[in-house]
Amino acid sequence: MSISPAPAPPTVAARTERATKVYGSGDTAVTALDEVDVAFDAGRFTAIMGPSGSGKSTLMHCVAGLDSLTGGRVLVGDVDLTTLSDKELTTLRRDRIGFVFQAFNLIPTLNARENITLPLALADRKPDQSWVDEVVATVGLGDRLDHRPAELSGGQQQRVAVARALASRPEIVFADEPTGNLDSSTSAEILHFMRGAVDELGQTIVMVTHDPQSASYAQRVLFLADGAIVDEMADPTAERVLDRMKRFGD
Amino acid sequence: MWRVTLRSLWEHKRRLVSTVLAIVLGVAFMSGTFVFADTIDKVFADLFGETRSGVDVQVQGVELFDGGFGGQDARELLDIGLVDEVAAVEGVAVAEPFIQTVGFGSQNRVLGPDGEPLGASAGPPTLIESWVASERLNPYRIATGEPPSSDDEIALNVAAAEDAGYELGDEVRVVSQLGEATYRLVATFTFGEAESAAGAVSADFTLAEAQRLAGLEDRTQVVLAAGDGSVDEEALTQRVASVLPPTAEALTGTEAAELEASDIQEGFGFFRQLLSIFAGIALLVGTFIIANTFAILVAQRTRELALLRAIGAGRRQVLTSVLLEALVIGLVAAVLGLLGGIALATAVTAALEASGADLPTSGLVISATTVVTALVLGLGITLLASVVPAIQATRVPPLAALRDVAVDRSGASKPRIVAGVLLLALGGWSLSSAWRVDEPEVATVGLGALALIVGAIVIGPVLAEPSVRILGAALPRLRGITGVLATENAARSPKRTSATASALLIGVALIGFITVFAASARESVVAEVERGFTGDLIIQSEASGFGPPGGFPPAVADTIAAVDGVETTSRIGFTQAQVTYPDGRAGTQFVQSVDPATLSQAFDARMAVGEVTDLGPGGVLVDVGVAEDNDVDVGDVVLLTGTGGQSVQLEVRALSDDLTLLGFWSIDTADYERLVTERQLVQVIATVSDGADVDVVRADVEAALAGVPAIDVLDRDGFIGSLTDQITSFLTLVNALLALSVIIAMIGIANTLSLSIHERTRELGLLRAVGMTRSQLRSAVRWEAVLISVLGTLVGLALGLVVSSALVRSLESFGLTRFRVPVGQLVVVVLVAGALGVIASIRPARRAARLDVLDAIAVE
Ligand SMILES: Nc1ncnc2c1ncn2[C@@H]1O[C@H](COP(=O)(O)OP(=O)(O)OP(=O)(O)O)[C@@H](O)[C@H]1O
Ligand SMILES: [Mg+2]
């Protein structure tokens, strides 16, 4: 173990091929995604940015198997989601994908621990206890694990949500404005933690955000406008992202 | 407010349907009962109106005593000479005697060519009558032939003759108290236009023969008279009344028709009351459900209501809006319930007609009372159920608009705990009187039962959460996370869960109570018979459902005695009589006649004072409980008056303590023959000679009685079976009627779940997003329903069990000596409840599974 192997070329955790999503039909049709080709590298933290209504959530939902495309393909690993039944999509979400939403992430009747292991429980899988412990320890929830969501602060709730997204070691985690409801210092903690999961645990994370500060935690930022990828940026900083975003206003 | 309310109701049409359904069913049952009973009442009122249409005056004996439970009133008999005296009254054109005996079971029946009695055994009766010559006085019209003119002739109504395939001139066998006799059919007749009088078999004879068959030689039951038109019926009736002896009274034809109709209607009144009780239970259960539904709706609309308040709606306006909604729902429920009731009554009437009862229905009777009752119940219950939630709605502070909806409100308020515990303690103490007190009062036990059930319902919200957790403890292991979620969801709003389970609890408690009670009664009866019944064979009329015991001709006993291998026979007769106690009070009682000499071979009756053999002519044997209640002791003299007015003075010789075998009052056969006009045996108990095979003798007796209709020859096991069958069919009937309230409770479970699922939309979406499959989701909803229904069922059964054990205990002196818990049957009840829970969950579960994930997780 003295010689570390050369870093393997990044494999792709999920990608789209000419992904198209049209809502409605005829005059009222809205093209939310317009032949999007995008790949999310494994082990990387990708942020998606863009103006409101640009199709960020739609893209994320379609890649995550929550919504279906009207054209093109989505692949998670080698699996073409467009060929899967509802049941297969459900098990795919359960076993291979993690989620963090902006709010209402937790089941109110389950305590933090149960919420964290929920996808595993749904799969009837035994949680890998040391991994769960590690996740919990990293999120810093040690003494609050037996509390119900109502007894947790907003920040704590989001931490539990992140822990849940990681506990099943999914191939890819999707987060839609995970810190949208939080103050900046709590946001920073959570984002720091997410970045840690990528760096130290090798997790793949895709995050939608409006906030340049948040985007700066990512390793790569994709810019979306009118349903198409218009730009991307590697190793972003808050200022550069902000600059880029300003140009959408024009 | 109207417009807002109506629009919001219309938007939730489906919810409206399930909300009103809980009330509609109860109202439908209630109004169906009313419509049906009113229709039947009218059928009989019309019938007797027609029967008496040409009669101006009816003379009858004064009432001796009330027939009690559906029985005909006992009246004085009239001397046949009275007919001429009435005829001689100025203004009377014609007067004739009329005798009518009602037949069912094995006596007073007309046999078909195959030896089977005509007419249904549980349907309309057979009427053995004297033919009335005057067309004005007789409702029957000759269809073919000539009326009976000699004592061996018979006339039958057209339907009966046709059913049997009899032609004029055929021999017709009739079984009466005198045994079997053969008559020649000389005429058929219609009842007005109809082929039968409401499905009855009418058999008419000469007056002399009718008198002989009824045991009324030289006497008559009534004298019918028609005037010559010189005065109206009131005046004529007064004139007739003035010549009558004090034992007779005169009624106008109209009054007579009303009286006869009301006698029959009284019988149906019992039926109306019985069904109303069950409809009432169903409505009570419905009340729970609708109250719960309103509570949930108001809770879900907290934000909307707060918004209303925030933009300036007053408390009163909020109250009005909720009450308006209840008003509309109640109105819809009442109208639908009424329509449902009419449909129900139509179906029952049609079913009755299909089963042979020829009801000359001139359409259903929908009385104002029925409509008003339906409206009052539907509206009243819904409004009542909405009052508390409506008041709660007014307490919603405008600020709640800004807060998240708090669903989980704790059910454990202090006043609730105190009230619940007090009620439970009170109920427990009253019930325990069954064990504490020597002679427990049934009423105390009943009140205790009520307090216990109300207490359980009051304290329900406090105990719902822990109970659900205990019940669901095994679920996580069995069903994993689905089980956890089901348990947590059932436990999350204790008030809701408890109200939903309470609705079920009521019906199940009653079912449990009745089931345990019936099992105990069955076991007690079996034990008593096994201990005391020493005969080998028992001959009785086929069970005729819930009517009075069917009788058979006394001569049957002689036929039995003559069979080879029969050693002794002991006859048991039956009648209703009025007993006048030494202190002058009087009451109608069931009296049986026995043969004291042979009775001890038939059974070993339990006696409190003296022996069965102490009874002889001039004596009477009284149940010790009845004797105590009426302050009667050995040596006292009581007066028994029979249905015809004959009376016998009897001395109390011994006190019995054996209701199963000896009943309340037993007299000697010799006195029975003096007491009644119509003799009938209800049982003959036979022993077989040593060495004879019981089965062989039984077959021989059966063969000897081949000509007696509807009679059973039973050995010991058969006898026990016939007794337990009666209890079983009673149990089945009651449970079938209670099933309605259980079904309504299930609608409640479905309702609560649907509303809860609506509330949990986002949560369910999240579950689906993180990988819960549709079938897992359905399973969670299903188990939640099962938990709630099993909770209601188990608590209900426990209450039923406690109450029935107390009641059985307090009825020990009535022969309920055993307490038995039919574990198997109760397990079935729990399983059925679980299964019904699953059924109740189908729709909500499907709804939950259909949820669109994206809609559900979309942030507002
Ligand atoms: N269910 C739907 N029906 C019709 N149009 C929709 C639907 N969902 C989204 N759209 C449209 O699709 C486009 C993309 O929406 P999407 O939610 O992906 O945007 P977004 O980038 O996530 O915006 P935001 O930053 O506001 O969350 C928008 O124009 C939106 O109006
Ligand atoms: Mg979005």
Look at residue B69 in the predicted model and tell me its pLDDT: 52
Look at residue B613 in the predicted model and tell me its pLDDT: 86
Using DSSP's 3-state secondary structure scheme, residue A73 falls into strand
Half-sphere exposure at residue A213, Cβ-oriented, CA atoms within 13 angstroms: 12
- Residue B481 touches chain A, beta carbons under 8 Å: yes
Which atom of ligand 1 is closest in space to residue A56's alpha carbon?
21
The alpha-carbon gap from A83 to the nearest alpha carbon of chain B, in Å, equals 18
Residue A2 lies in a domain: no
Q: Is the pLDDT of residue A229 over 70?
A: yes
**Shortest CB distance from A107 goes to which of B480, B763, B776?**
B763
Q: Work out the average pLDDT over B582-596.
A: 89
- Residue B856 touches chain A, beta carbons under 8 Å: no
Residue A124 lies in a domain: yes
Does the beta-carbon distance from A164 to B770 stay under 8 Å? yes
Give dist(CA B699, CA B720) in Å, integer.
18
Q: What is the pLDDT of residues B260-278, one digit of tens each?
A: 778 777 767 777 888 888 8
Give the angle subtended at the CA of B272 by the CAs of B266 and B274, to the nearest 5°: 110
Number of domains in chain A: 1
Residue A7 lies in a domain: no
The whole domain housing A243 covers 12-249
Look at residue B1 in the predicted model and tell me its pLDDT: 58
Using DSSP's 3-state secondary structure scheme, residue B155 falls into strand
Question: Taking CA atoms, what residue in A is nearest to B486?
Answer: A109
Residue A151 lies in a domain: yes
The long-range contacts involving B87-90, CB below 8 angstroms and separated by at least 24 positions, are B87/B225, B88/B243, B89/B225, B89/B236, B89/B239, B89/B240, B89/B243, B90/B230, B90/B239
Q: What percent of chain B has pLDDT over 70?
A: 93
Mutate to test the pocket of ligand 1, among A34, A56, A223 (most ligand atoms within 8 A of CB): A56
- From the CB of A57, is ligand 1 less than 6 Å away? yes
Residue A4 lies in a domain: no
Does the beta-carbon distance from B774 to A123 stay under 8 Å? no
Q: Is the pLDDT of residue B544 over 60?
A: no
Residue pair B137/B50 in contact (Cβ under 8 Å)? The answer is: no
Rounded (to 5) percent helix, strand, coil in chain B: 55, 20, 25
Look at residue B571 in the predicted model and tell me its pLDDT: 92
Q: Work out the average pLDDT over B524-534.
A: 86
Task: Supply the pTM of this predicted model.
Answer: 0.83
Report which residue type is found at B458: V
Minimal-distance CA residue to ligand 1 atom 14: A55
- Residue B768 touches chain A, beta carbons under 8 Å: yes
CATH number at residue A139: 3.40.50.300
Tokens of B110: 């007309």
Q: Is the pLDDT of residue B284 over 80?
A: yes
Q: Work out the average pLDDT over B593-613.
A: 87
Q: What is the pLDDT of residues A112-151, one digit of tens each?
A: 988 998 988 888 888 888 888 888 887 777 788 888 888 8
Q: What is the pLDDT of residues B187-223, one digit of tens each?
A: 999 988 888 887 789 999 999 999 999 988 899 999 9
Q: Is the dihedral of CA B407, B410, B416, B420 positive or negative?
A: positive
Q: Is the pLDDT of residue B288 over 50?
A: yes
How would you classify the pairing of strands A45-49 and A220-225? parallel
Residue A184 lies in a domain: yes
**Shortest CB distance from A91 goes to which of B492, B773, B859?**
B773
Q: Work out the average pLDDT over B776-797.
A: 93
What is the dihedral angle through the alpha carbons of B321, B327, B333, B334, rounded to the nearest 10 degrees? 180
Q: Is B389 left (phi over 0), alpha (psi -120 to 50) or beta?
A: alpha
- Residue B766 touches chain A, beta carbons under 8 Å: yes
Tokens of A107: 């089941």
Optimal mutation site among B465, B770, B860, interface A, most CBs of chain A within 10 A = B770
Residue A3 lies in a domain: no
| Mean of the per-residue pLDDT values of chain B | 86
**Shortest CB distance from A109 goes to which of B492, B854, B859?**
B492
Q: What is the pLDDT of residues B321-335, one digit of tens each?
A: 778 888 888 888 899
CA of B776 to the centre of ligand 2 (A): 28
- Residue A113 touches chain B, beta carbons under 8 Å: no
Minimal-distance CA residue to ligand 1 atom 17: A57
Residue pair B726/B525 in contact (Cβ under 8 Å)? The answer is: no
Q: Is the pLDDT of residue B425 over 90?
A: yes
Q: Which residues of B44-82 are buried (b: 16+ CB within 10 A; e: fewer)?
A: bbbbbbbbbebbbbbbbbeebbebeebbbbbbbbbebeb
Residue A142 lies in a domain: yes
CA of A250 to the centre of ligand 2 (A): 21
Strands of chain A, DSSP E: 12-23, 30-41, 45-49, 71-76, 79-80, 97-100, 172-176, 205-208, 220-225, 228-234
Q: What is the pLDDT of residues B650-666, one digit of tens each?
A: 999 999 888 777 888 99
Look at residue A104 in the predicted model and tell me its pLDDT: 79
Give dist(CA B101, CA A103) in Å, integer.
84
Give dist(CA B538, CA B52) in Å, integer.
43
Q: What is the pLDDT of residues A60-84, one digit of tens each?
A: 999 998 888 999 999 998 889 989 9
Neighbours of ion ligand 2 (CB under 5 A): A 57
**Strand-by-strand arrangement of the A45-49 sheet:** A97-100, A172-176, A205-208, A45-49, A220-225, A228-234
Residues forming a β-bridge with B97? B223
Point out the least confidently predicted range of B180-184, B401-405, B590-594, B773-777: B401-405
